[in-house]
Amino acid sequence: MKNKGVKIAACALASAIVITGTHSYTDAAAVSAALPVAGLALILNEGISIDTVQEVAAEKSVSGNSSESLSDKDTTEKLKGELKLPDSLGEAGSLTTTKEIEDVTGGASVSSVFDRIASENQETETENETEEAEEIETEELTEEESEEESFKSLVIAQVNDYVNVRSIPSEEGEIVGKLYDKSVGTFLSEKNGWYEINSGNCTGYVKAEYCVTGDAAVELAKQVGTRIAKVTTTTLKVRQEPGMEAPVLGLIPIDDELVVLEEVDGWVKVNIEEGDGYVSSEFVTLRTDFVQAESKAEEEARLKAEEEARKAARKAASEAARKKDAEKAAKEGKKLEQEEAADPIVVSGGSAAGTSVAQYATQFVGNPYVYGGSSLTNGTDCSGFVMSVYANYGVSLPHSSSALRSQGSNVGGLANAQPGDIVCYSGHVGIYIGGGQIVHASTAKTGIIISNANYRNVLAVRRIF
């Protein structure tokens, strides 16, 4: 109906537009005498802008349609046929006097009707702009809060060790996996005091009394989840303050992952070996990591793989040691023990292979730190140090602190660490030497040093031997 009103009014106005060169104008008197009652009524009912009607009318005039007189019976019938107007509109295409228009509009003049329409359209446009602005603001708000809202659908274990994931909501159900303390699953349903969850590759039921979900899970998720920033540029500059002009605190290689402390105005506060600094969010991707359930099959496969890796590492270390001893004995005719440093750092406890690794690593204390390096004598960074130390025992490890967090087997924290274990931090790694200490390539200022293992928050402790 709205389009019909525009067409009717436009046809009438077209006959009242005068073309002068490249310009056109509307004769107000002609408009008053030519605008059809039905067209004006439709405009008023549908809120169509008079500007729209005039534009369409102008187009008709320019295209040559202004020669058609709406008073002509044939033209009137043609319009009625094309627009398929209902009979109730009567002679919709015929010309109407100003008096008749004023009767339809309740006595208002045509000019006042036009003014009212323009005013109403302006108000409508303003309201639409306000609604659009509010909608955009709401969308931005939703985007900021979307992750927090998603936490409500999590199921988080609160136990001393783990809660079994069973095949049915009953203690008679088969154990299909384990949801460890502070581990997270996605809520699927609730049945008789059991939560059905999906976590990792494990789907099943856990006792509700050992977990939280809904609103209670929101704050807990923030505590147990780890916000991670993964580097997406070749060498990321960590700055002392959030700004491109701020001094550089340290450098981080591509694909390395850092623990996020805070996110503000396009900058991410992270923790690195040199201290807390800031990186531009443009050069990292952000995510929240949660520990998930381990299925029974995954647990069996992991234990088997870890044992095989330990055996392979021990064999490689043994062969490397024999080769080293033979080379030294052949060259100098003396035993390895007689060639040790005058005052070696004593390492004890743990496996013989792990103790040997720790002992070997300590002899490089005092040597320089070099970003991206892997030379134990001329300069190395933290992951290069660990990689090169273990390479001496025939073990190949990645030159990446974040990648080292998945090597070997997880020992369950610093309390269970033994000499030779790899201690992992945000953007940094070292080798545990016993007595609560690590040896590591720290910074360009300090070089390779020995520090207390708990001097920073430990993310993982991994055992190779």
Residues sharing a CB contact under 8 Å with residue 136, sequence separation 6 or more, in sequence order = none
171, 163 contact by CB (below 8 A): no
3-state secondary structure of 452: strand
Residues 317 and 236: their CA atoms lie apart, in Å, by 35
The interaxial angle of helices 352-362 and 382-391, nearest 10 deg, is 130
Residue from 202, 211, 424, 440 carrying the catalytic annotation: 440
Q: What's the number of CA atoms in the CB half-sphere (13 Å) around residue 272?
A: 27
3-state secondary structure of 266: coil
Residues 311 and 399: their CA atoms lie apart, in Å, by 22
Q: What is the DSSP letter of 369?
A: B
Residues sharing a CB contact under 8 Å with residue 245, sequence separation 6 or more, in sequence order = none
264, 304 contact by CB (below 8 A): no
For 246-335, strand residue ranges (E) read 248-253, 257-264, 267-272, 275-280, 284-289, 294-295
For 12-93, strand residue ranges (E) read 17-20, 23-26
- Tell me how many degrees the CA angle 202-203-208 measures, rounded to the nearest 5: 110
Residue from 11, 211, 382, 424 carrying the catalytic annotation: 382
443, 379 contact by CB (below 8 A): no
Residues sharing a CB contact under 8 Å with residue 78, sequence separation 6 or more, in sequence order = none
Q: How many CB atoms lie within 10 A of CB 270?
A: 27
3-state secondary structure of 135: helix
Whether 424 is catalytic is no
Whether 440 is catalytic is yes
Secondary-structure percent of the chain, ordered helix, strand, coil, rounded to 5: 45, 25, 30
Q: What is the DSSP letter of 344?
A: P
Q: Please provide residue 406's backbone torsions phi and psi, each rounded to the nearest 5 degrees.
A: -115, 5
List residues bridging with 157 in a β-sheet.
211
3-state secondary structure of 271: strand
Whether 23 is catalytic is no
Q: How many CB atoms lie within 10 A of CB 111?
A: 11
Instruction: Please list the active-site residues.
Output: 382, 428, 440
